[in-house]
Amino acid sequence: MIEFYKMSGSGNDFILIDNRGKALDGIDLKAFAKAVCRNKVSVGADGLIVIEPSGKADFRWIFFNADGSEAEMCGNGGRCAARFAFIKGMAGNKLSFETRAGIIDAEVKGDIVKLRLTDPRDLKLDYSIAVKGGQLKVNSINTGVPHAVSFVDRLNEFDVFGYGRDVRFHSAYAPAGTNVNFVTMDGKNRIRVRTYERGVEDETLACGTGAVASALVGAGKGLVDSPVEILVKSGEILTIYFDKSGDLFSNVYLEGKASVVYEGRLWKEAYQ
């Protein structure tokens, strides 16, 4: 049996497994991730996080989306991984871990985790793409993974799944595709965000790198100042901190709750 934790980062839920002792040795991790992330017939989650040794940081992670694809980075997953590592005694409350996007720093304060992300890149503001129903004005930025951001009215009634899927697979973002965020302003330091996540292929209750992308695009357009509170679909608040110099951002932090839901052991029936 395989020991695991189930955790939630502000509504993004993850399965975390300590693989430093090679508990998953010989298992096809992509197929395993797809199997255990299935709702109703297995644990169910937005993603799988596998913790492994690192020669550069306190640990290395491998992150899989629910469809089995591997992602460079996940903000809410990163916060869960940091708290998991602290709970399991892999690191102190200030730690770093290795990802495909680079080395990520974190600080654990109870169930609140503050994550320093790699510097964002590829900011592009105010352009239009063709989607169902006409043209959609979008912005884009890479916050460890690619994100499109569109400011909309009446966010609660907006067709996040329909438009999100159109943008996610749009030729403008081929071949990798993009995550898609829809944003409504609530003030100079507060916005609301709903996100369609690549790899989950649906709207999720929260997206950490999407919250960061939305805040930075808002700052790039002169709409918000640091720190920015992000109200996500789960009802929780993520706080984004950053420094801005012209079109460049640095010292980008994501802060929010990372909760332990339960711990358990996976039977083979859960993934075969």
Provide the annotated active-site residues: 74, 207
Say how many C-beta atoms besides its own lie within 10 A of residue 48's C-beta.
Answer: 28
* Euclidean distance between CA atoms 17 and 7, whole angstroms: 11
Q: Please list, in sequence order, all residues whose beta carbon lies within 8 angstroms of the beta carbon of residue 106, skipping any fewer than 6 positions away.
A: 78, 79, 82, 94, 95, 96, 97, 113, 114, 115, 116
CB 208 within 8 A of CB 256: yes
Tokens for 10, please give them.
């502000």
State the greatest distance between any 2 C-alpha atoms of the chain, in Å, as a whole number. 54
β-bridge partners, 249: 244
- Which token pair is 216? 């930075």
CA distance 224 to 55: 39
Cα 236 to Cα 45, 92, 207, distances in angstroms: 18, 26, 11
> If DSSP codes are grouped into helix, strand and coil, which group holds residue 144?
coil
Q: Which residues pair with 105 in a beta bridge?
A: 96, 116
Angstrom distance (rounded) from CA 208 to CA 9: 8
